[in-house]
Chain A
Amino acid sequence: MTYKFDFAAVLAQWPLFLHGAWLTIQLAVIATLLGFLIGTLCAFGRGSRNGWIAQACSIYVETIRNTPLLVQIFIVYFGLSSLGLKVPAYVAAIAALVINIGAYTTEIMRAGIDSIHKGQIEAAECLALSRLQVYWHVILRPAMERVYPALTSQFVLLMLASSITSQISAEELTAIANRVQSDTYRSFETYIVVAVFYLMLSLLMRLGFWAIGQAVFTRRRRLGTTM
C-alpha cells in the first residue's frame, strides 16, 4: 500500500464542512419536531375507538416502516414532481424525513401510551380532570418519560439518516462532502472528515437530549433514580 494521505487539501475546506453541519442540524431539528408532532397524533389515532382512523394510522406506520428511506425520498421528490407538484429538493427532503420519523415515533409513543395503567386514567377522571388535562398530564407526559431514551436514539438515527437526502442533492453535510470530494479528488480523506463530523453531531445531539431530559422530567430525579 503506497497511498499517501493528504488531509490538508480537505481540511482547507473547513468552512464548507461547518456550513454543511449547520444545514444538517437544521434539517434534523425541523424533521424531529414535525415528525414528533405527527407521530404523537398517530399514536393516539392508532388507539382511537374510530376504526377507520386506527386502521389508517396503522397502514401508514406499516408502509413506512417496511420500505427504505431512500425510496421514500425518491417518491416524494421525483414522484411528486412527475405528478405536477414541483418542490425544491430541500423541502422534499424535509417532507420525506418527517413522514419517515413520524411512523417510528408513532410506534414508540404507542408503546409508551400502552404502558400507562388504566387505573391512572380512571383516577384522573374521578378527580374531574378535563379530557385534555387527562391526555396531557396523565397520559402524554408520563408516556414520554418512559420512552424518552428510545425516542431520542431514534431522533439521532434520523439525523444520521438525513445524509441520504444528499441523493436528491438536498444541501446538507454529505452533499457538501460529495462536492469537496469532486473538487479535491481526495475521496477517502473527505469521507473520513465527514464521518468525524457526523460522530460529533450525534454526540452533541445525545448531550442535548440528555440535558432536555434532565430539565423536563424532574420528577424522576427527585425520586432518586437516574435517567
Chain B
Amino acid sequence: MNNEFNLNHLYFLMQGVGWTVILSLMAFAGGGLLGFGVALARISRSRTLRWLALAYVQLVQGTPLLILMFLSYFGLSIMGLSLPAIVAAGLSMTIYVSAYIGEIWRGCIEAVPKTQWEAAECLALTRTQRLFMVILPQALRIATPPTVGFMVQIVKNTSLASVVGFVELARAGQIINNSLFEPFVVYMLVAGLYFLLCFPLSWWARKLENRLLAGRKPEPELKKGIGNVQYCES
C-alpha cells in the first residue's frame, strides 16, 4: 500500500493541468469563432438573424453548464457516436463560451461611437468595410480586457468536464482522493493549481482595463459600462 502523497500523484495532477489547459484553449478557439458569429448576428440588419441569435444566447445563458455537459454527452451518444469524453466536453464548452463571449463582444462593438459608423459611411465604405476596417479594430481595443477576464471563467468552468469523465485537473484530484482519502490536502492542492492558472489572467485583465481607462478615470459611468461585461461571471 502506498498511502502517502508522492511525486507520482503530483505528476498525475500536472497531467490534469495539461488537459485543463488544452480543453480551455479548445473552448476559447471554438467558442471565440462561434461567438464572433453570434456577435455579428446580434447586430445584423436582418431581424430574423438578430432574433435567432438572441434566442440562442438566452437559451444557453439560461441553462447551467453542467446540464449542457450532460446534454452533449448523452446527445452525442444517442446519435450512435461513441466519442471520447473530450469531444462532449469540448462541444458543450464551445456552446457555453460562444453565448457569453458573443454578448461581451456585441457590447464592445456597440461601445464604439455611432459617429464612427456614420463617418465611415460618408467615405463611401460598404457595410462590410465599415465593420471590418473601422469598427472592429476599435472594438478590439475595448474587448481585450473583458475577453481576458472571461478566459478565467473558461479555465474554471472546464472543471465541470469532470462529470462526463474527462480527466482534467478536478477529476485528477478526485481520482487521487479516492485512493488516498485525504480530501483536504488534495483539493487544496487542486485549488492552488487552478489559482496559479487563473490569477495571472485576472491580473492581466485588470492591468489591461486600467490601461484602457487611464485617460478617463474621472468618469465612473464609463468604467461601469465596460466593467459590467466582466462582472457577469459564474
Contacts and interface: CB of A to CB of B under 8 A. Distances in A.
Interface of A: 1-3, 62-63, 65-72, 74-75, 78-83, 104, 107-108, 111, 114-115, 146-147, 149-150, 153-154, 157-158, 160-161, 163-164, 166-167, 174, 177, 187-188, 191-192, 194-195, 198-199, 202-203
Contacts of A187: 70, 74
Nearest to B61: A202
Interface string B180-222: 0111100110110011001100100000000000000000110
B75 A188 contact: yes
A56 to B, nearest CB: 17
B194 A79 contact: no
A67 B66 contact: no
B35 interface: no
B234 interface: yes
B64 to A, nearest CB: 4
B70 A66 contact: no
Contact of B194 (A68, A149, A166, A194): A68
A195 B163 CA distance: 16
Interface residues of B, number: 50
B184 A75 contact: yes
A1 B66 CA distance: 25
Contacts of B78: 1, 3, 188
B232 A66 contact: no
Given A163-B64, A188-B71, A195-B67, A66 B234 contact: no
B141 interface: no
Contact of A79 (B68, B187, B224): B187
A1 B70 contact: no
Contacts of A150: 227-228, 231-232
Given A166-B66, A192-B71, A157 B233 contact: yes
Contacts of A166: 66
Contact of B67 (A115, A153, A174): A174
A164 B160 contact: yes
Contacts of A66: 152, 156, 194-195, 198-199, 202
8 contacts: A1-B79, A63-B195, A68-B160, A108-B231, A154-B231, A187-B74, A192-B71, A202-B61
Q: Which 3 A-B pairs have the closest CB atoms?
A: A78-B183, A68-B159, A66-B198
B70 A191 contact: yes
Nearest to B158: A68
